[in-house]
Amino acid sequence: MDAKHDVLVIGAGCAGMRAAIEAHDAGADVAIISKLHPTRSHSGAAEGGINAALGNAAEDSPEIHAFDTVKGSDYLGDQDSIEIFTREAPGDIYQLEQWGCVFSRGEDGRLAQRPFGAAGSPRTVYAADITGHVLIQVLYEQLVKRDIEVYEEYFAWQLVVHQDRCQGVIAWDLLHGGLKAVGGKTVVLATGGVGRLYRATTNAYACTGDGMSMALRAGLPLKDIEFMQFHPTTMYPSGILITEGCRGEGGILRNSEGERFMERYAPTAKDLASRDVVSRSEQTEIDEGRGINGSVLLDLTHLGAERILTRLPGSRELAMVYAGVDPIHEPIPVRPGAHYHMGGVETDTNGLTELTGLYAAGEVACVSVHGANRLGGNSLMETITFGRRAGRAAAEWALANTTVEVPASATRDAERELKALLARSEGERPWRIRDELGQTMLENFGVFRREDQMQKQIGIIESLRERYPSVIVEDKGEVFNSDLTQVIELGYLLDIAACMLQAGLARKESRGAHSRPHDYPTRDDESFMKHSITRWADGAPELSYKEVRFTKYLPEERKY
Amino acid sequence: MQVALKIWRYDAKTGDKALREYELDAPEEATLLDCLDIVKDRQDGTLAYRKSCRMMICGSCGMRMDGAAVLACKVRMYDIASAGQVPVISAMGNLPVIKDLVVDMDPFWAKFKAMKPYLQPGYDQPEDGREHVISQERMNVIHKESLCINCGCCVSECNAWDAEPEFLGPQALAKGMRFVGDPRDAAKVERLDAYSGEHGIWECTRCYFCNERCPKGVDPRDAIAKLGAEAMKEGIDKDMGAKHANWFVTSAKTTGWLRETELVPKTQGVVSSIKEMKFAMGLLKHGKVPPPFPPHVAEGVKESRALYDLVKEQGRDGALGIVQGERALSRLEHAAGDGHASRDQADVTPGEEPTRRGGE
C-alpha cells in the first residue's frame, strides 16, 4: 500500500471537494485523488445556477422547492431525499457565501435569484453565467486552507474490496507513471457523469463514468441508469452548453419559420418548461422539418446588449467562439445534447452504497433527488448538500473503525492486467469504437426512444464490446500516458452504455427523460413508478426494480 | 479542411527534443485542441497534452502557438489553415516541461498557495447566519479577478517571472487582489503587507504581456496595479517600487514635472544613491538630467495640482482609480449609452482576435 487515509475521496469536483472538506472538519485524515487538478473538474463548467429556497426574490419555501423537484422528477424521485435536500440547501448556500463565494447580488445586496425552468419561484442563486466556476474556486480555496492532500492527476482504476468492505483504490499516477494503491477506511466516489457516451454532449472529455463503472465492476447496483437528461440548448455542432439562464433572462426558442414554438407545447411555462419537455419539443420541430441544420434557434437579440453583457457574458463568448455568432445581433443554433445522468450508483440519504465503506455523491450517485428528470440548478445544489452529508458519514464511520488494508494481491492483479494491456501491439485504435458508440447512442438512445432502435443499439454495443479487448495503446511510456487512460475510459463507457440500454428497453412507458412516443407514449404508474436497479452479472447487465419512497406528494400529470 | 501543425515533442526522461510536422483533415469548425485530438487518435498516440472541458473554463489546455500562450480550445483553426500557415505548437513558458505540451504546474500552484487564497472571515460577519449584504457595485471591484481559471497563460508569458522565478507572478497576484478587493475579507492590510515583499507587487515590470495573453479577460497587470494602489492607500510603501511610484506622484503634484535628480535617492535611499554619484555626474555632464537647482516648475502646474486634489476628493486613489481596471465596466457604459455603434469598438480587447459579428 503506497498511502492510507481515513477517508479517500475519488474525484475533485463540487461533490468531492465538499465531501473532503466536511470529512476534514469532522476530524478525519482526508485525501482526494483526481485524474484532473481540482479546478479543472467539470463542475466548473456549470453555468446557470444553484437552487435553494432563500426567498430573496419572491416568496419561497423548502416545501415549494420539494414539490417542484418531485413534479420535475416525474414522480420517480425519492421524496425523503428530496425533502432533506430542499430543507438543507439554504444553509449550504449561506455557508458557501460566507466562505467567500462570489455570487451575484440583487438590488438589496442580498444573493440574487433568477427564475429557472419548472420552478415555482425564482430560486436559482447564481454568479452571472459562471456559477460552477465560482463554486469550484471557493471549494478549492477551502481545500487549500485546510491543507487537504490531493493526489493530483491520479487516475482511479479499480476499487479495492477486501473483507466485504471498500478499503481503497488502485490508481495510475499520470504524471510519474506506475500503479499506486491508496487505502481508505472509507471511500467516497465523486467522479461525475458519463456524457461522453454521446456524440453531442455538454460534458467534458473527463466525463466517462469512471466511478459508475468501478462500482458496477465491484458488484454494486446502478439505479435509474436509463435516464439521461438532454439539455435543450447545446450549440450546434460542438454540443457546448448555453445555459438555461439565457431563457431565464428572457431568451426565446424559435423554429426555421421564426415561430416561438414552445407556446404550442407548454402554453404556460413556454420556453421555461422543464428540460425534458423543451428537448422533446425541439426534437419534434427538427424531425418535422422546421429546424435548420438539425437545430433550432435561441434568440436573445431582444434582450439588448447591456443585459447580455452583464448577465450572460460567458454565453456570449461561447457563442462567438464555437458557433461564430454574436447573440446580441443574431440567434444561436442549438439542439438537445446529452447533459446529465439522473441515474447512478444507488445510495441512501447519507451517500452510503450497499457496500460497507463505500459512499457516493454528486452525478455519479443516485440518491435520488432527480428521478426521471432533473430541474436546472438542482445538480450543483445536490453536489454540495449530499457531498457534505456523504463526507460527514464517511468520516464518522472511518473514525469509529481502525483498520485499513489493501491486500498485495489486489495490486499484483492490477499490474498483471495493465501489463497485458500495454503488451498488446496488434489491434485497432480506440477512437473508431468511441466515435461509433457516441454517434449510435445519439441516434438510437437519444431524446426519443423506439423499440427497434434500442434493440439495434444493444447489438451495436455488444459488437463494440467484442472489439474492445483488441484495442491497442500506442504509448507504452510511464509519463503522462493519456493514451492508456483513454483506453480504460472507453471500457467504462461501454459498461454504462450496456446498462442504460437494458434498463431503457425494459421501461415500457414514457417518464421524464425516457420518452417512447411511438409505442408507450404515457406514464404508467401502475407498472413503472419504480426505480430500475442494474447489476453486472455473468458479463451482462441484470435488471430488477425497487419501490419509490413517498412522503406526501401524490402523482399527478405533469403539465407546464 | 487541411491543417498542418508543427509540434515540439519533448521527452523529459531522455531529454530528446524534436519539432515534428503533422498534416490532418479536420472539420471547418475545429479548434487547435480538436486538431491535436485528431493527431493523437489517428497518427501518434504518444502525443501528450492536457484537456478536459473544451469550452474555455477548465484551464487545462494552455500551450503556446507560434510563441504566444493560448488555450488550445479557444483557437479556431479555419483562418490559420486557409491562409496556409503552419503554426508551431509548444509547451507553455516559464514552467518545466514534463512531456510534449505538458508542463509541471507545481511552481504555479506554489505561488497560488503562498497568497493564502481563502477568505479570512471575521469582518462584518452576518449575525443572522445568512449571507453578507453587499451591493453588486462593490463586488464588481473583483469581478475580473474572479474570472481566472488558473490556466497559466499569464505566467507562461511573464517577463518578470522569466528574470526572477521567485516572483509571485500575475496569476497569484490577481488571486490576491480577488481577496484584497473583497469587502468580506478581514485581512486586507496583512495581505497587502505580505504581497508587497521582495518578490511581490513591485517586481512586476509592467510589460502587459499577461493582459495581452489572458484568455479570460482577467487583466492580471491591472490587478497588480490595483494592489499597488491599495497598498499605498494603506501606507504600505517601504518597497523601492512603492517609493519610486510615490515620488512620481509627489513630483507631478509639486512641479508638474518628474524631478529626476531626486528620483534615485527617494527610491533607493540616500546611502545607496551616493554610490551612484559618479554615474549621475556623468549624466549631468552630458545633459541627460536637469540640474537639481533651481527646481524646474512646469507652467501648467496648477492643473496638475488640481488633478491631484480631484483624485483625493473623489476617493479614487485606490483600486478604483486604476483606469485600466475599469475597462470592462466602461465597455458596458458604452453599450448602454451609445447603442451599437460605439460598442463594437469599445469591445475589442487587446490580444484577442476580432470575432465575426452578426449583420456584417
Q: What is the pLDDT of residues B105-141, one digit of tens each?
A: 999 999 999 999 999 987 777 878 899 999 999 999 8
In this prediction, residue A367 carries a pLDDT of 97
| Residue A445 to residue A438: CA distance in whole angstroms | 10
* Least CB–CB distance from B46: residue in A108, A175, A477: A477
Give contacts of A 241-280 with B, CB under 8 A.
241
* Least CB–CB distance from B45: residue in A134, A473, A479: A473
pLDDT exceeds 70 at position B340: no
| Interface touch A483/B136, C-beta < 8 Å | no
Which chain B residues contact residue A44 at CB under 8 A? 53, 57-58, 149
Percent of chain B with pLDDT over 70: 88
Which chain B residues contact residue A91 at CB under 8 A? 129
Per residue in A270-320, pLDDT tens? 999 888 899 999 999 999 999 999 999 999 999 999 999 888 888 998 999
Q: Is residue A342 within 8 Å of A227, Cβ to Cβ?
A: yes
| Interface touch B136/A93, C-beta < 8 Å | no
In this prediction, residue A55 carries a pLDDT of 96
H helical segments located in B83-208: 106-114, 136-139, 153-157, 159-163, 169-180, 188-195
Percent of chain A with pLDDT over 90: 92
pLDDT exceeds 90 at position B360: no
Per residue in B83-99, pLDDT tens? 999 999 999 999 999 99
Q: Is residue A477 within 8 Å of B10, Cβ to Cβ?
A: no
pLDDT exceeds 50 at position B288: yes
In this prediction, residue B141 carries a pLDDT of 87
User: C-alpha distances in angstroms, B198 versus A448, B32, B164, B242?
Assistant: 63, 39, 11, 11
A21 touches chain B (CB under 8 A): no
Mutate to test the interface with B, among A482, A484, A486, A489 (most CBs of B within 10 A): A482
In this prediction, residue A393 carries a pLDDT of 98
pLDDT exceeds 80 at position B283: yes
pLDDT exceeds 70 at position A146: yes
| Interface touch A36/B335, C-beta < 8 Å | no
- Which superfamily does CATH assign the domain made up of A1-227+342-560 to? FAD/NAD(P)-binding domain (3.50.50.60)
* Chain B nearest C-alpha distance from A402 (Å): 32
Per residue in A34-93, pLDDT tens? 999 999 999 999 988 999 999 999 999 999 999 999 999 999 999 999 999 999 999 999
Domains delineated in chain B: 2-103 (3.10.20.30), 106-125+133-233 (1.10.1060.10)
Residue with cell 458596458: B332
* Chain B nearest C-alpha distance from A386 (Å): 20
Which chain A residues contact residue B74 at CB under 8 A? 321
SS3 A490: helix
Per residue in A203-244, pLDDT tens? 999 999 999 999 999 999 999 999 999 999 999 988 999 988
Q: Which helix (H) or strand (E) holds A231?
A: strand A228-235
| Interface touch B52/A204, C-beta < 8 Å | yes
Q: What is the average pLDDT across B219-235? A: 93
Phi, psi (deg, nearest 5) at residue A241: -75, 135
| Interface touch A102/B358, C-beta < 8 Å | no
A2 touches chain B (CB under 8 A): no
* Chain B nearest C-alpha distance from A203 (Å): 7
Q: Is residue B84 within 8 Å of B23, Cβ to Cβ?
A: no
In this prediction, residue B345 carries a pLDDT of 35
| Interface touch A310/B332, C-beta < 8 Å | yes
Q: Which helix (H) or strand (E) holds B9?
A: strand B2-11
Domain positions in chain A: 1-227+342-560, 230-336
User: In this structure, what C-alpha cell is assigned to residue A533?
Assistant: 436497479
A307 touches chain B (CB under 8 A): no
In this prediction, residue A505 carries a pLDDT of 98
* Chain A nearest C-alpha distance from B285 (Å): 56
Amino acid at A192: G
Mean pLDDT of chain A: 96
Domains A1-227+342-560 and A230-336 share a fold: no
Q: Does A275 qualify as catalytic in the annotation?
A: yes
* Chain A nearest C-alpha distance from B307 (Å): 31
In this prediction, residue B321 carries a pLDDT of 67
| Interface touch A40/B98, C-beta < 8 Å | no
- Count the helix, strand and coil residues of chain B and give each as a percent rounded to the nearest 5: 45, 10, 45
**Which segment of A152-166, B271-285, B331-345 scores lowest on mean pLDDT?**
B331-345
| Interface touch B46/A241, C-beta < 8 Å | no
| Residue B274 to residue B268: CA distance in whole angstroms | 10
* Least CB–CB distance from A40: residue in B58, B178, B184: B58
pLDDT exceeds 60 at position B339: no
In this prediction, residue B338 carries a pLDDT of 39
* Least CB–CB distance from B336: residue in A100, A306, A479: A306
| Interface touch B98/A104, C-beta < 8 Å | no
In this prediction, residue B323 carries a pLDDT of 56
In this predicted complex, what is the ipTM?
0.96
| Interface touch B129/A240, C-beta < 8 Å | no
Per residue in A437-490, pLDDT tens? 999 999 999 999 999 999 999 999 999 999 999 999 999 999 999 999 999 999
Q: What is the average pLDDT across A502-515? A: 97
pLDDT exceeds 80 at position B333: no
pLDDT-based confidence at residue B326 (cuts at 50, 70, 90): very low
SS3 B306: helix
pLDDT exceeds 80 at position A426: yes
CA torsion sign for A132, A134, A137, A138 is negative
In this prediction, residue A297 carries a pLDDT of 98
| Interface touch B119/A100, C-beta < 8 Å | yes
**Which segment of A308-322, A487-501, B189-203 scores lowest on mean pLDDT?**
A308-322
Identify the CATH class of A230-336.
alpha beta
pLDDT exceeds 60 at position B336: no
Mutate to test the interface with B, among A14, A37, A473 (most CBs of B within 10 A): A37
pLDDT exceeds 70 at position B225: yes
CA proximity to A202, closest of A169, A175, A227, A236: A236
* Chain A nearest C-alpha distance from B181 (Å): 12
Q: Enumerate residues 6+ apart whose C-beta is below 8 A from B241.
A: B201, B202, B203, B228
| Interface touch B131/A98, C-beta < 8 Å | yes
Q: What is the average pLDDT across B33-38? A: 98
Q: How many CB pairs under 8 A join A and B?
A: 185
CA proximity to A159, closest of A54, A335, A10: A10
DSSP assigned state of A132: H
Question: What global pTM score does this model have?
Answer: 0.93
Which chain A residues contact residue B59 at CB under 8 A? 39-40
Mean pLDDT of chain B: 87
Half-sphere exposure of B9 (CA within 13 A, CB side): 16
Q: Which chain B residue is nearest to residue A92, measuring alpha carbons?
A: B130
